Amino acid sequence: MEIVSAVSLWLIPILIGFILIYGTFKKVPTYESFTEGGKEGIKIAVSIIPFLVGMLVAISVFRASGALEYFMNLIRPGLEAFGVPPDIVPLAIIRPISGTAALGMTSDLIAVHGPDSFIGRLASVLQGSTDTTFYVLTVYFGAVGIKKMGDALKVGLLADLAGIIASIVVVTLVFGSM
């Protein structure tokens, strides 16, 4: 497990160093390329604002009204027997459906429980290790006119479930349980 932590610490700095040296070696105008790509980052950050506003307001209302607590208490006993914190369930449900909505939920969980709490870390790993099945399915198949999806949806959703289970197991192993 120490290796996993070391990877966390070193992966990004090493990757950055490697890209810069490799780029220079290949005679890429590094600084110009960097600024060119960076512009894209601003566009993305600004374009997700409406998605996050919509989702965070809905979740905040759901939580502040006491509804979230009510439903959490309903499912708590069953899930905690398996070491699954109930707070993660709404995120797990919405993750395959909408990427930006899930991003809103992840940031909400991190804000409420703290980034270094068990739930905060679990939400972080979950967000990173699964993808938006319905989005990929509708965009990719829709664009090329595939009408009969076959087992695609089943396979995609089961893969998401596998990602959720893997996230819970790995976070518990690396950071300790709740």
Of 94, 99, 105, 127, whose CA–CA distance to 60 is shortest?
105
Residue 57 has a CB neighbour count (10 Å cut-off) of: 11
75 binds other proteins (CB under 8 A): no
82 binds other proteins (CB under 8 A): no
Q: Tell me which of 54, 73, 78, 80 binds other proteins, using CB under 8 A.
A: 54
Task: Give the H/E segment covering residue 14.
Answer: helix 2-25
Encoded amino acid at 156, one letter: G
Distance of CA 160 to the CA centre of its chain: 11
For other proteins, the closer of residues 8 and 177 by Cβ is 8
Q: Tell me which of 86, 103, 118, 119 binds other proteins, using CB under 8 A.
A: 103
Chain positions 32 to 51 lying near other proteins, rule: CB under 8 A, are 33-42, 44-46, 48-49
16 binds other proteins (CB under 8 A): yes
74 binds other proteins (CB under 8 A): no
Measure the CA–CA gap between 147 and 150, rounded to whole angstroms.
9
62 binds other proteins (CB under 8 A): yes
Angle among Cα 16, 105, 74 to the nearest 5 degrees reads: 140
Chain positions 109 to 168 lying near other proteins, rule: CB under 8 A, are 110-111, 114-116, 120-121, 124-134, 136-137, 139-141, 143-152, 154-156, 158-160, 162-163, 166-167
